[in-house]
Amino acid sequence: MHRKVCVVITARPSYSRIKTALKAIDAHPQLDLQLVVAGAALLGRYGNAVAYIERDGFKVAEKVYMVLEGENKTAMAKTTGLGVMELATVFDKLQPDMVVTIADRFETIATSIAASYQNIPLIHIQGGEVTGNIDEKVRHANTKLADIHLVASENARERVIKLGENPTKVFNTGCPSIDIAKEVRETPALDFDPVEKYGGVGADIDTSQEYLVVMQHPVTTEYARAKEDVQKTLEIVHELGLPTFWFWPNVDAGSDGTSNGIRSFRESVNPPNIRFFKNMEPTDFLKLLANAKCLIGNSSVGIRECAYLGVPVVNIGTRQNGRERGDNVIDVDYNKEAIRNAVLQQIENSEITGTSIYGDGEAGQKIAQVLASCDLTFHKTITY
């Protein structure tokens, strides 16, 4: 008997976190993939992730428009509420045997609530980790609503069990994004021109030179400082003068401040060394990172994929507080001198080697196998 697996993707980073698992689910003889794309993943200003999803050959069963304008904490709460209502209707229509929610973005709790209230077994990917901002609460709330847990590390598995979850329902599959990183590590050559393929705005960048990559998001618990924080990073990267690929932030409380800071700096300074992009296909983005001298910012890609690829990272601020990291990361505060010194140290760092904290590159297949064979229940009691 086939199991209908409904996977909900709500934002740009979620696709790279689940892509190889989608392929494995779609190919599995006992599983039928129902793909729902929602939230910021449908919006052009945040990279139009749905275009890459469809280009990769996935059939989208439903699209859910649920993002309210505002990019502040009230808009986040209302977007989540709208998501619960819209996703509840989608699940009622699709009648899945299970629903998969991914990681810790604020919209993912809408998926969990809508599935749980309809007695649909809920699968949570990447629970048990520790970070800063609202993601911390959302991740652990997803854990308590979920019935099956597919975690990315052994520490995460132990933490989910300590939260009271049944050990037989917690599986360390690794992170599917490492599957893509494994492919890139085997063939790391930058075999495309980022400007020619993706456009972007700003300076012309010669990828034959050494270059930096920046991905900085707002911190939802510090959203009022978003513009000030990104301006410090912009100033340092401009002063360093190295060719730089800079990526637009996710939709979060404070992302309007981050975006405004980037836009005003670009218009007033017109930095000759920075090119700004909204999005790239996951494999292309990791190839760009694999050949970079350093990643700067506060994205989890610096903690996960860059650890596996051995890419030096300067992680700024509190957004990734507490997350397991490799020796590729230097942590600094929003202090210009500290950021500058860390970047200069990292671009000279030749001692970093890859580490498999978040998996061995086989997560997609492991996830599909668990979904095909696990006992599907939607009622649980806390274990002690």
Quick one: tokens of 104?
A: 């810790």
Rg (CA), the chain: 20
Strands 3-9 and 31-38, sheet pairing? parallel
Judged against a pLDDT cut of 80, whether residue 169 lies above it is answered with yes
CATH of span 3-175+359-373? 3.40.50.2000
pLDDT at res. 379: 67
The CATH fold of domain 183-347: Rossmann fold (3.40.50)
User: What tens digit of pLDDT does each residue of 97-153 get?
Assistant: 999 999 998 899 999 999 999 999 999 999 999 887 788 899 999 999 999 999 999
- The CB density around residue 383, as the number of other CB atoms within 10 Å, is 12
User: What tens digit of pLDDT does each residue of 183-195 get?
Assistant: 999 999 999 999 9
- Triad 202, 204, 210: Cα angle to 5°: 115
pLDDT at res. 37: 98
Q: Band of the pLDDT at 253, cuts 50, 70, 90?
A: low
User: What tens digit of pLDDT does each residue of 13-58 get?
Assistant: 899 889 999 999 999 999 999 999 999 999 887 778 999 999 999 9
Cα distances (angstroms) measured from residue 194 to each of 69, 183, 204, 217, 337: 30, 19, 10, 21, 30
Quick one: tokens of 142?
A: 């997803």
Task: Please compute the mean of the pLDDT values over residues 212-227 and round it to a whole number.
Answer: 89
Helices (H), the chain: 12-27, 49-55, 73-94, 108-116, 135-145, 154-162, 176-186, 194-198, 226-240, 255-269, 282-290, 305-309, 336-347, 363-373
- What strands, in cross-sheet order, belong to the sheet with 148-151? 60-64, 31-38, 3-9, 98-102, 122-125, 148-151, 170-172
SS3 call for 383: coil
pLDDT at res. 13: 84
- The CB density around residue 324, as the number of other CB atoms within 10 Å, is 18
Judged against a pLDDT cut of 90, whether residue 246 lies above it is answered with yes
Task: Please compute the mean of the pLDDT values over residues 147-163 and round it to a whole number.
Answer: 96
Q: Band of the pLDDT at 221, cuts 50, 70, 90?
A: confident
Quick one: tokens of 126?
A: 């990447």
Task: Please compute the mean of the pLDDT values over residues 361-378 and round it to a whole number.
Answer: 94
Q: Band of the pLDDT at 383, cuts 50, 70, 90?
A: low
Residue 210: what residue type?
E
Judged against a pLDDT cut of 70, whether residue 302 lies above it is answered with yes
Same fold? 3-175+359-373, 183-347: yes
Judged against a pLDDT cut of 80, whether residue 62 lies above it is answered with yes
Cβ atoms of 292 and 212 closer than 8 Å? yes
pLDDT at res. 80: 95
pLDDT at res. 375: 93
Q: Band of the pLDDT at 348, cuts 50, 70, 90?
A: very high
Judged against a pLDDT cut of 80, whether residue 229 lies above it is answered with yes
pLDDT at res. 384: 57
- The CB density around residue 382, as the number of other CB atoms within 10 Å, is 9
Q: Identify the CA nearest to 72 among candidates 12, 134, 131.
A: 134
pLDDT at res. 60: 98
Q: Which residue has the higher pLDDT, 82 or 73?
A: 82
Quick one: tokens of 188?
A: 């790391």
Q: Band of the pLDDT at 351, cuts 50, 70, 90?
A: confident
- Residue ranges per structural domain of the chain: 3-175+359-373, 183-347
pLDDT at res. 353: 87
The Cα–Cα gap between 219 and 226 comes to 7
Cα distances (angstroms) measured from residue 229 to each of 287, 313, 333: 27, 18, 10
Q: Which residue has the higher pLDDT, 380 or 366?
A: 366
Task: Please compute the mean of the pLDDT values over residues 311-322 and round it to a whole number.
Answer: 94
Instruction: Fill in the DSSP letter of residue 217.
Output: -
Judged against a pLDDT cut of 90, whether residue 159 lies above it is answered with yes
Judged against a pLDDT cut of 90, whether residue 12 lies above it is answered with no
Mean pLDDT of the chain: 93
Task: Please compute the mean of the pLDDT values over residues 159-176 and round it to a whole number.
Answer: 96
Strands 31-38 and 212-215, sheet pairing? unpaired
Reported pTM: 0.91
The Cα–Cα gap between 124 and 134 comes to 17
pLDDT at res. 1: 75
